[in-house]
């Protein structure tokens, strides 16, 4: 039997490990040379680069509707903390530095979370990953550089239901040591707009000047496979940069290759049998 990690001994040792990780992240940020985005501007920058919205209450397997309602509350509390943030040249956007720790004292409710073993659970402030999912999807359509991104790479937890963005573009966050961050290495400022209504979470990325290029996320080689009796979801995600003036592709970059174990009922899927030696 493998020896347990310190964080696995008990709930108490797990909390000690969590607080240690939070402290280390704060210390690393303090001694780093990063300049973090901290200024807000109520005036909108003139150029809309990209916008997106996502349904707050979605069908996610057998997830309780109460957790979905609580997520709506959590998003309503967190979106104003990022709305109108300016990301100046050379600055880094940090989700957790702006939103802060989501505690019950601040009004956050128990929402859906994903545990250490990739199982669904619940916790105070749950549902924040939908917020960073939205931000990440928008950032992929800009020249901004993602510098910290975590994802539940190995599993496909829920069947598609009204999916608007490709599988594999999600995020995984835990205060504060699993953060979502991007850096502005361009020659102009950007602005992030975020807000909610009863049904949707909304986002916009705006800039001082129009961009000379546009960005597309393209999915290729998407299929389900069965390997040694286990079903996997496979795909490749590419970012395509297109010159706006002539429509010519400037660059095509593989940003993610998915090979994720499917955790839901696969009886209605079109599954390709794969010889395990093909993947070696």
Positive or negative: CA dihedral 161, 242, 153, 139:
negative
For the chain, residues with pLDDT lower than 50 are 279-280
User: What pLDDT, on a 0 to 100 scale, did the predictor assign at position 17?
Assistant: 86
Name the strands in the sheet holding 230-243, side by side, starting at the edge strand that comes first in the sequence: 155-156, 249-262, 230-243, 213-227, 271-273
CB count in 10 Å sphere of residue 87: 22
Q: What does the pLDDT look like over 209-231, one tens digit per residue? A: 999 999 999 999 999 999 989 99
- Which residues of 18-89 form beta strands (DSSP E)? 35-36, 47-55, 85-87
DSSP 159-207: --SS--S-TT-----BTTTB--EEE--SSS-EEEEEEE-SSEEEEEEEE
Q: What is the C-alpha separation between 274 and 272, in angstroms, rounded?
A: 6
Q: What is the C-alpha separation between 168 and 152, in angstroms, rounded?
A: 9
Tokens of 43: 């005036």
Q: What is the pTM of this model?
A: 0.92
Q: What does the pLDDT look like over 174-211, one tens digit per residue? A: 998 899 999 999 999 999 999 999 999 999 999 999 99
User: What pLDDT, on a 0 to 100 scale, did the predictor assign at position 211?
Assistant: 98
**Helices 65-78 and 128-139: crossing angle, nearest 10°?**
60
- What are the residue ranges spanned by the domains of the chain? 13-210, 212-280
């Amino acid at each position: 039997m493998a020896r347990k990690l310190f964080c696995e001994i008990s709930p108490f040792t797990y909390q000690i490990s969590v607080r240690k990780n939070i402290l280390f992240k704060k210390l690393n940020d303090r001694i780093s040379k990063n300049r973090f985005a901290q200024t807000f501007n109520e005036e909108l920058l003139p150029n809309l680069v990209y916008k997106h919205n996502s349904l707050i209450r979605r069908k996610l397997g057998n997830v309780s509707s109460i957790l979905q309602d609580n997520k709506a509350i959590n998003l309503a509390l967190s979106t104003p903390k990022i709305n109108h943030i300016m990301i100046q040249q050379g600055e880094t956007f940090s989700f957790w530095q702006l939103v802060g720790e989501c505690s019950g004292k601040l009004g956050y409710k128990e929402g859906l979370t994903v545990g250490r073993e990739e199982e669904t659970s619940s916790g105070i402030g749950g549902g924040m990953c939908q917020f960073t999912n939205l931000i990440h999807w928008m950032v992929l359509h800009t020249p901004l550089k993602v510098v910290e991104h975590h994802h539940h790479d190995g599993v496909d937890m829920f069947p598609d239901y009204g999916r608007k963005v490709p599988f594999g573009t999600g995020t995984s966050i835990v205060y504060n040591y699993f953060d979502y961050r991007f850096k502005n290495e361009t020659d102009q400022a950007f602005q992030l707009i975020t807000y909610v209504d009863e049904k949707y979470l909304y986002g916009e990325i705006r800039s001082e000047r129009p961009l000379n290029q546009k960005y597309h996320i393209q999915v290729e080689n998407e299929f389900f496979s069965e390997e040694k009796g286990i079903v996997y979801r496979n795909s490749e995600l590419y970012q395509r940069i297109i010159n706006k003036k002539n429509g010519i592709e400037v660059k095509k970059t593989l940003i993610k290759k998915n090979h994720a174990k499917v955790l839901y009922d696969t009886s209605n899927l079109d599954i390709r049998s794969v010889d395990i030696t093909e993947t070696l």
